[in-house]
Amino acid sequence: MRYFAVSPEFGIRIPNFLPAPLDNSRYLLYFATMAETATPELTPGTIETTEEKPKSGLEPGYLVICWNDPVNYMDYVTHVFRVVFRWTRKKAEFHMLQVHEQGKSVLKRDSMEKAEHYVHQLQKYSLHATMERDE
């Protein structure tokens, strides 16, 4: 049974989209027979465990490495580390001395995108920096 409204101006029937009255037995029967949601049950004596991902399942990390060069002064390299990585003076000087004495220093381990970003930032300041995949 559809309900229609009659437009007096045009003399046409327009469908009325109001819901049907709920006293209609057909609708009451439909809602009365709907299934209820079942509650999940756990059987006694079972333990649910979650497995941790193996290390190989994690995203591989990339190392940002700064190499020694005879061009840049030590104070300048310290300044660049503080600006790019927002490090304290002590940490920046530690890595600068490592670059100076050992020839290189691993500055950061991060995702590929972030490591690329740091390498480009360091190269923008004319430091010799590369990235390597960490195993």
* Counted domains in the chain: 1
Q: Say how many C-beta atoms besides its own lie within 10 A of residue 27's C-beta.
A: 13
Strands, E, within 89-128: which ranges?
Answer: 104-110
Q: List the domain range (segments joined by +) for residue 117.
A: 59-134
Question: What CATH number does the domain containing 74 carry?
Answer: 3.30.1390.10
What does the alpha-carbon distance between residue 21 and residue 44 come to, in Å, rounded to a whole number?
48
* Tens of pLDDT, residues 65-94: 999 998 999 999 999 999 999 999 999 999
113-124 tens-digit pLDDT: 999 999 999 999
Is 10 inside a domain boundary? no
pLDDT digits (tens, 9 = 90+) for 24-65: 555 555 555 556 666 666 666 666 666 665 555 567 799 999
pTM of structure: 0.57
Rounded to the nearest 5 percent, the helix, strand and coil shares of the chain are 35, 20, 45
Q: Is residue 32 part of a domain?
A: no
